[in-house]
Amino acid sequence: MKKLFSFFLLIFFFIVNQASSNDKLITSLKEGGKIIFIRHAYAPGSGDPEDFEIDDCLSQRNLNQIGKVQSKNIGLFFKKNKIKLDTILSSEWCRCKDTAKFAFQDYKTFNALNSFYDIRFADNKDRQIDNLKKFIKNWDNKKNLVLVTHFVVISEILNFSTTSGEIVISDKNFNIIGNINIKKYNKQ
């Protein structure tokens, strides 16, 4: 009986701690001035097809229905919590643009957020990361900046591994403040 009680007590403290962590993160976002990295929502598969064309969504790996719902839930998270957003920027890849579209409706593309996972785009990595860092350094707003991008970009900038649709919040110096996996958030 003691073991069962201890088990439930441990679960209770885990849930309370997780909720408290999310509350602190939401409060931080409401303060503004944060950089919000969002890995595109769920798009089955890995990488891009060999016949990939930047201007042809049919040639790319795209969001499925799960990814579309996940994108909408990302937008609902910001709306429900009344988090003020400045600019929403997206990679030029269709799965990122669709994530931004379903989550926020209005967005602009920014090629510094493009993937460099594929060998065809690997030579772009250093230039893109430099351009992204310069953009963020010069960005100055009391609201939050949203960047919808890819695993490789977030990993390179923040040294943080993400899952599809995961939100990672940092300051302008790329210090991670926290992260929210939107699937986990919606279950609470």
Report the domain count for the chain. 1
| pTM for this entry | 0.86
Q: For residue range 122-137, what is the model confidence (pLDDT) as tens digits?
A: 899 999 999 999 999 9
Residues spanned by the domain of 163: 2-187
Whichever domain contains 160, its CATH number is 3.40.50.1240
Q: What SS3 class is residue 83?
A: coil
Q: For residue range 97-153, what is the model confidence (pLDDT) as tens digits?
A: 999 999 999 999 999 999 998 878 889 999 999 999 999 999 999 999 999 999 999
